[in-house]
Amino acid sequence: MNPSNFSSDATSDVTNLIDTLYRTESRRVFATLVRLLHDFELADDAMREAFAAAVETWPKDGVPANPRAWLISTGRFKVVDALRRQGRLRDLQPEIAARLDDVADSNAARAGAEIEDDRLRLIFTCCHPAIESNVQVPLTLREVCGLTTEEIASAFLISKATMAQRVVRGKAKIREAGIPFAVPSLNELPERLDAVLATVYLVFNEGYAASQGDSLIRVDLTAEAIRLARLLLELLPDPEVKGLLALMLLHESRRMARVSTDGQIILMEDQDRSLWDRALIAEGTALVEQALRSRRFGAYTLQAAISAIHSESPTAEQTDWNQIVMLYSVLQRIDPSPVVELNRAVAIAMRDGPDAGVSIIDVILGRGDLAGYQFAHSARGELLRRAGRPIEALAAFRVALELARLEPEKRFLAGRIRDLTDS
């Protein structure tokens, strides 16, 4: 590419490409740099330096054949050069080299079973059993997946300050305990699996229903979560890995029908089911059936089974709500939570009428559970609206609107409030 012929339009194209690469590749670049440098802060500095260098040089020199490899190489060089100038390289280099040797030895022992994906490798590192269980998933979401502390705090229904403290503790533990950035052996994988699966699913959920911003869906996150789950399944064909992958595929199959062309949320019962991706549904359903046949399944498989019933139903009215209620009852027994109880209440409302669901939700909220959870109040408002109790529905929707952060959800709730006010 001749720089003298590089037009402003071409420069803009390269800038847009770099923006896209940052959204889709930055955390993979970061993961590899963490493995090489064994330091979160150094890796973050290196990643940012690399992208800054790309902005400066690619419009003049052209886009490299392998952008990710260029970013990793450039980032590592930038950090090493900066450390040399600061006089810190002599102190850090032996430690970094020793840790790289540890990684190499561990991977050599694994031979053909090595994980090729550094991002998945780093997820397993952050889910090391030496790290507190309530720190593992938030640390991974923040450092590996790039979610903001606020987004993670929202997913866990706790304060931003509390979540920030957990992430700091996790990084400190990795540093102080010398936890290796190495692939765990096959017999160590099961003890880390629960945290890894939870992490992947939270990444998917943040993409499927973002906690804040202008867009309901972040395809980069849903696609990455599905990619990681496929890697996990190759590594460890556990029934719950199949269940999680199935659950995400079945949810993803409905993506094109969830939002109107003008960005408005469409409830599942009102969606155009011809837009649902039948190939994803077929793959997800097959995985659910395999997991169920194993009789060693858990919460993800049960949720996937529920999603499969929705996916196979021609209409909301023809959905087997009794079967869904039964599955939610089993799920509540093996993985009890107020959110599962809320979902079961909605399914009961679809089977037995809205008042039946409202009664259960009132009990949940009466206990103090989910008081700050927008979807509990919006679900209650929707059921009250269908039950012909507009004044109570209006109050519930107003509470939900106060709690909502995502613009499409705010528009949806404002529309419900407007309809009830005008009627």
Least confident of 44-48, 84-88, 233-237, 376-380: 84-88
Give me the pLDDT at residue 313, please: 95
Q: What is the mean pLDDT of the segment spanning 111-140?
A: 75
Sign of the alpha-carbon dihedral angle for 100, 35, 76, 177: negative
Which residue type is seen at 12?
Answer: S
3-state secondary structure of 265: strand
Which residue type is seen at 176?
Answer: E
Q: What is the mean pLDDT of the segment spanning 253-277?
A: 92
Least confident of 114-118, 144-148, 213-217, 220-224: 114-118
Cross-strand bridge partners of residue 265: 259
Q: Where are the alpha helices (DSSP H) in 178-277?
A: 189-208, 219-235, 239-252
CB-based contact 205:217 (threshold 8 Å):
no
Taking 90 as the threshold, does the pLDDT of residue 287 lie above it? yes
What the block records as the tokens of 397 is 């929707």
Query: Could you give the CA distance from residue 49 to residue 55 in angstroms, rounded to a whole number?
Result: 10
Residues 29-41 have pLDDT tens digits of: 888 888 888 788 8
Distance between the two ends of the chain, CA-based, in angstroms?
64
Cross-strand bridge partners of residue 406: 213
Place of tokens 């900066």: 82
Give me the pLDDT at residue 2, please: 43
Query: Could you give the CA distance from residue 64 to residue 294 in angstroms, rounded to a whole number?
Result: 47
Give me the pLDDT at residue 345, please: 98
φ/ψ of residue 406, rounded to 5 = -85, 135
Pick left, alpha or beta for residue 368 (phi over 0 → left; psi -120 to 50 → alpha; otherwise beta).
left
Query: Could you give the CA distance from residue 307 to residue 370 in angstroms, rounded to a whole number?
Result: 23
Which residue type is seen at 393?
Answer: A
Taking 90 as the threshold, does the pLDDT of residue 106 lie above it? no
CA-based radius of gyration for the chain: 24
Least confident of 54-63, 171-180, 402-411: 171-180
Which residue type is seen at 163?
Answer: M
> How large a percentage of the chain has pLDDT more than 70?
87
Query: Could you give the CA distance from residue 184 to residue 43 in angstroms, rounded to a whole number?
Result: 21
What are the angstrom distances between the C-alpha of 155 and each of 159, 182, 320, 341, 367? 10, 28, 30, 17, 20
Give me the pLDDT at residue 215, please: 63
Residues 313-368 have pLDDT tens digits of: 999 999 999 999 999 999 999 999 999 999 999 999 999 999 999 999 999 999 99
Quick one: angle between helices 407-422 and 374-386, nearest 10?
30
Query: Could you give the CA distance from residue 26 to residue 41 in angstroms, rounded to a whole number?
Result: 14
| Neighbour-count burial for 327-361, b at 16+ CB within 10 Å, e otherwise | bbeebeeeeeebebbbbbbbbbbbbeebeebbebb
Q: Identify the band that residue 4 occupies on the pLDDT scale cut at 50, 70 and 90.
A: very low
Taking 50 as the threshold, does the pLDDT of residue 382 lie above it? yes
Q: Where are the alpha helices (DSSP H) in 117-218?
A: 118-126, 133-143, 149-156, 160-177, 189-208
Q: What is the mean pLDDT of the segment spanning 266-273?
A: 94
Cross-strand bridge partners of residue 259: 265
Cross-strand bridge partners of residue 314: none
Higher local confidence (pLDDT), 105 or 198: 198
Give me the pLDDT at residue 82, please: 75
If you average pLDDT over every residue of the chain, what do you get?
A: 85
Give me the pLDDT at residue 105, please: 46
Query: Could you give the CA distance from residue 274 to residue 272 in angstroms, rounded to a whole number?
Result: 5
Residues 161-210 have pLDDT tens digits of: 999 999 999 988 988 888 877 656 767 777 788 888 988 898 888 788 76
Q: What is the mean pLDDT of the segment spanning 267-296?
A: 95
Instruction: Give this prediction's pTM.
Output: 0.76
Query: Could you give the CA distance from residue 145 to residue 31 in angstroms, rounded to a whole number?
Result: 9
Half-sphere exposure for 42 (CA within 13 Å, toward CB): 22
